[in-house]
Each structure stands twice: as C-alpha cells, then as structure tokens.
Structure 1
Amino acid sequence: MELKEILILTQVKGIGPAFFKKNRSRLICCDDCTNFIKEVNEEAITEYQVYEKVAERVLTDCKSLGIRPISCLSPEYPKMLLEINDPPAVLYIKGNETLLNKVIAIIGTRHSTPLGNKIAERLGEHFSQEYSICNGLVEGIDEHSIYFNGKITSKAIGIISGGLNYPQTCSKAHAKVIDDVLNAGGLIVSEYPPQQPEDKYSGSKASRIQAALSQGLILVQSGIDGGSKYTLATFSKLPRVLGVIHFPTSEEYQSEKFEANRVILSEQKDGIARFVGLKTTKKIELTSIIPIQGKADYDIFSSKINKITFQTSLF
C-alpha cells in the first residue's frame, strides 16, 4: 500500500496506531485502502475524497519543507519502533537519519537542579561519542544532555510533539532548540503531519517514540510524579537497559527532585511499577537496572547495551 493510502487511513475514526501494527501484513499486500475503511467504519467511505485531499496536502507540505515521511509498512521504518504496541503509522523525519542506528535516551525533569544539570552534561558529552542522544528537547535535563562545553552535540535526536513545520507548530523556545539540533547535523522526528500544532496530550504520546528508538535509557533526575514516567512506562516493557543516576553522597540527591531515582534503585521493578503507574511488574521486561555513579558505571551500561545488540543481530 502506498504512503498516500496510509495517510488516508490515519484520518478514519476507529483506525489508529494499534490497527496498523495488527494488520501490517495485510496492509503490505493490499493496494486499495477502501476495503479497510469499509471494514472498520463503513460510513467513513463517504468522506474518502476529503481524506484524499488532506493526504495530498500533507505530502506536498513534506516535499516543500524537506521532511521525509516513512510509512510503517516501509522496510526503512525503524524496526525498534515496531516492538511497541502502538507504533506511529507514519514517521516524519528531518535531518541526519543515520543517527537512528545507535541511540540512547537521556531524560529527566524540566525543573532540574544544578546537580542534575551537571550530570546530564557529563552524560551527554561522554555517550555522544558512541551514541545518538534522544529526548524531547525540552528545558531542564533534556537540553542539558545535548548542550555541553558551550555548544550542542551533532548527535542529538529530538522527538517533538508537533508537526515538523516547527516554527508554526511549536513554542518559540522549543523551535530555537530544534533549529540548533538541525544546524548541528542532528535529527528531528515526529508522528504528526507537518502543520499539526503540539497540544497538552501530544507530549506524553511522543514519549513512547523516545523509548522505542533507544537501546538504553538513563534517568538523570525525576520526582515521583515527574513526566519522565511516560517515557519509562513504554521503555520498561521492552527488553532493554535502564540506567538510573545514583548520587547518595549529595544532600541535593536526597531531595524530592530525585525521589523517583531513589525509589527505582531501592525497589527495582516494584519501584518502576510505582513510578509509571503499573499495578504489577509482570509487563516489565528490562534486562538490567544499573545505578550510575561514575564513569565505571558508564562502561557497564554500554557493555549491557552492546550485548543485547549483538544477541539481537544473531537472529
């Protein structure tokens, strides 16, 4: 099925990301989207021409703005995204897509402390030598993990919660960071058509893409009610490596701003379940939970990721 037909299907009520994953094999073999519309929502077929015009406008916008849309049916679609329950039907990307080959997420609170900021910068500087650094590019820990030594890394991946016509769809502050990422040679990713503005729900949805694209994730700093729970909720259900900053000698670390870190490291999977809102730990599939205090732990974290990557490549 062509990309245009996929874009038409995304507009039909009752057809969402989970539908595309469940029916991916059928969709790959099918040239006509009308049968799927009739199957899910027969009345929607009357709006086909409207859906078609919207799809054509999206494709035109992508071409004019230098955005590459990738269908979930395409062999170029990131395979790691297909591991979650609801991968985006279409991924919109702008920038250096080779950065998707080896990725970790470095995340934490928007209301970061001096200690959290300093740690995020050290992590970003170290891990960007080997990995792309992925997060939502928002203020606080996200930004400090990609800006260090007075400049931005060339290996940043930003998952944004609006369309990739970001001067129009995102806040001015966010758009400035996105510009910096692209100008440095980084990559911006969205699941939304180019002209769709961000809203209060799209940020938490975008978090699942951060999680899915990352082989490892480091939680730098979060309170127990912090927004990092959305990314970790998805990541914890994948067989991947979690690192959690642990700095027990610091008085600042004992504050509520690091409470999620302490709970996860003391209670392990039970702590993760409490943080992300799971009733049980049955769905938590993490291979490792690693406390990170210094550079020796950085090496442990990397070795665990590389082991998983190697094992996966054998199949």
Structure 2
Amino acid sequence: MYELESLLFKLLFCRGISLRGSWRLIKYALEKQYTHFSLGEIVYLAVERQHEQAFRESWRELSDELIEEKKQEQTYLFCLNEEYPEILLEIPYPPIFLFYEGNLSLLMEKKLSFVGAREATNYGTQVVSRLIPTLVTNEFVIVSGLAKGIDAQSHAKVLSLGGQAIGVIGTGLDCCYPSSSRELQLEIAKNHLLVSEYPSGVGPKRHHFPMRNRIIAGLSLGTCIIEAKKRSGSLITAQMAMEYGREVFAVPGDILSGHSDGCHNLIQDGAKCVFSAKDILDELHHFL
C-alpha cells in the first residue's frame, strides 16, 4: 500500500498509465477520503486494459529505493500542496508534480505569456522590444517556453530590463532543448524560475511540447502571440488559453509574407488586436 503522493510520484516513471489515469486516482482519493491504494486498485481505477501488462511490468521494475532516490534529487510541488498555484488547477488535468528551480514566489505574481515564431523576423524582434518594457514596468512576470525565436527573445528582453521571468520547458530541468537557449535557461533557473512537469533525466519528445504549452497558458492571465503562421505551434497555446478563459492577444503583421497569418486568424476569432503594451494593460487593468 502506498501513500498518495509517493504513489503518484512512482506512477510518473511507469509505462502504461496516462495523466488522466493518475488524476482518476486523485479524484477518487479526494471523494472517498482514501489515502492508500493497492496495486490491484491502481490498475482497476487508472490503467486501460490494453496497457495493463506494460504497466505491471514497469511497476515491478521500479524499486522503492530508486523512487525515493529520485524524489530526493529534485525539488517539486505536488498538486495538493498549498503552494501549488491555484490558477493552474483551473485547467483540465494540470501537472500532478511541478518540478522547479529558482524563485518559487514568482508563481504567486501576475503573469503574462509571450509565444511566437521560432524563425522570428526583424519585425517580430522589434515588436518584442516595443511591448516588453512597459509590461516589466507594470511588474508582470513574463512566461514563455524558451523555444528559439520569439519565446527566447521575450525572456532575454525581460532579463536585460531587470524584470522577472518564468521558463516552462518540455524536458527534465537537467536538460536543455533547444541547446541555443542553454545560457538563458541557466540564468532563469538561477535568478528567476524554471519549471517542468517532467522529472530529471527526461529528454525532449514531440508530445511534450503541446503539454508544456498548456502550462504556459494555464499559468498566465493572458497570452500574447507574435508572428504565428497559419499552422504555428504557438496557435496551440493560444487555443488553450481561450479554452481556459484567459485573455488572448495577437499582434498583426504583414499580410503578404504569411508570417502573421495565424495572428490575423486569431484576431478574426476574437483575440485582442495589439499595437502597443497599453492594449494589453487595458484588458488587464484589474490586475494593475
């Protein structure tokens, strides 16, 4: 029998169980005031039949000693901890564990996220330089994913102005992807806040990044998109922000180049059209 937090930590390393399955255990535990589960109960409540064999095999492979060692080597928030950000609990299936390095108090501050093109043009870079300073002056913490382009440029600008940043990554905190963001990631981990739902040792996988995007959107009061093409991954973050009831801001661009077609579509769908930082602040005036 396992206490709930320790059980869920072990499940992070098991094959054959999804985040939804783990949340079924949590909800059952809270509804029934149930604190310990047997292996049979875990399988019944949280594991799909077709994955049961893989789950049982990986469960046996993971010793209690190994799991305890992994727990001790990193810092994290459990979703039932008081310090876990309430705003993130509002989204469907939030991270059960939020691993972090740096200043945890930044999670309690007002936050805005910036995402956009990996291959940012000079126009996108100029937009970042135009918007970020006023938001830093108004003490917004800037959230982004440390991806190449607009994400990294937004954080670099914040740091150059002495503002505060939260980086959300799609790997364990001991990994860096892309490698071009290494220095930025190290600086954020040391003097700001770096977070991930993946434990140390987990490298980049394609499905990690939409999952990371939901954290970026979920942590923020609003998300600003700069230079998103029609099929940009940034639009995933924007869509999630809309679904979570957050503000979505989109910067218009050249209608001929295609670099901002995704932003234009967002504006047509109801996103706030942004020409200046004031456009963002006007929407979020209750938080100033």
Q: TM-score, normalised by structure 1?
A: 0.78
Q: 2:28 aligns with which of 19, 26, 29?
A: 26
1:64-97 CA-to-partner distances (Å, cap 9, x unmatched) read xxxx211222222222222222212211011111
Q: 2:209 aligns with which of 203, 224, 228?
A: 203
Q: Distance in 2 between matches of 1:95 and 1:75?
A: 18
Whether 1:268 aligns to 2:265 is no
Q: Distance in 2 between matches of 1:245 and 1:109?
A: 12
Task: Give the structure 1 partner of residue 241 of structure 2.
Answer: 235
Q: 2:273 aligns with which of 284, 291, 309?
A: 291
Q: 1:163 aligns with which of 148, 155, 172?
A: 172
Could you say if the C-alpha distance between residues 100 and 158 of structure 1 is closer, same or farther in structure 2, counting changes exceeding 3 Å? same
1:182-227 CA-to-partner distances (Å, cap 9, x unmatched) read 34x2100101111111123322221111011111111121111111
Whether 1:131 aligns to 2:140 is yes
Task: Give the structure 2 partner of residue 6 of structure 1.
Answer: 8
2:244 match: secondary structure: coil
Please tell me whether the aligned partners of residues 158 and 165 of structure 2 are also in contact (alpha carbons under 8 angstroms): no
Q: 1:82 aligns with which of 86, 89, 97?
A: 89
The letter for the 2-side match of 1:58 is K
Q: Distance in 1 between matches of 2:255 and 2:162?
A: 27
Please tell me whether the aligned partners of residues 70 and 77 of structure 1 are also in contact (alpha carbons under 8 angstroms): yes
Task: Give the structure 2 partner of residue 310 of structure 1.
Answer: none
1:217 match: secondary structure: strand
Could you say if the C-alpha distance between residues 53 and 301 of structure 1 is closer, same or farther in structure 2, counting changes exceeding 3 Å? same
Deviation at 1:119, TM superposition (A): 0.8
Q: Distance in 2 between matches of 1:156 and 1:299?
A: 18
Could you say if the C-alpha distance between residues 296 and 190 of structure 1 is closer, same or farther in structure 2, counting changes exceeding 3 Å? closer
Task: Give the structure 2 partner of residue 259 of structure 1.
Answer: 261
Please tell me whether the aligned partners of residues 24 and 73 of structure 1 are also in contact (alpha carbons under 8 angstroms): no
Mean alpha-carbon deviation: is it higher for 147-156 or for 136-145?
Answer: 147-156
Deviation at 1:254, TM superposition (A): 4.1
Alpha-carbon RMSD across the aligned residues, in angstroms, is: 2.5
Could you say if the C-alpha distance between residues 197 and 296 of structure 1 is closer, same or farther in structure 2, counting changes exceeding 3 Å? closer
Q: Name the count of aligned residue pairs.
A: 274
Q: TM-score, normalised by structure 2?
A: 0.84
Deviation at 1:9, TM superposition (A): 2.6
Task: Give the structure 1 partner of residue 61 of structure 2.
Answer: 50
Task: Give the structure 2 partner of residue 179 of structure 1.
Answer: 186
Task: Give the structure 1 partner of residue 100 of structure 2.
Answer: 93
Deviation at 1:156, TM superposition (A): 0.8
Could you say if the C-alpha distance between residues 299 and 112 of structure 1 is closer, same or farther in structure 2, counting changes exceeding 3 Å? same
2:115 match: secondary structure: strand
Deviation at 1:53, TM superposition (A): 4.1
Please tell me whether the aligned partners of residues 136 and 158 of structure 2 are also in contact (alpha carbons under 8 angstroms): no
Please tell me whether the aligned partners of residues 37 and 45 of structure 1 are also in contact (alpha carbons under 8 angstroms): no
Task: Give the structure 2 partner of residue 110 of structure 1.
Answer: 118
The letter for the 1-side match of 2:129 is E
Q: Which runs of 5+ in 1 are unaligned?
A: 63-67, 270-288, 308-315
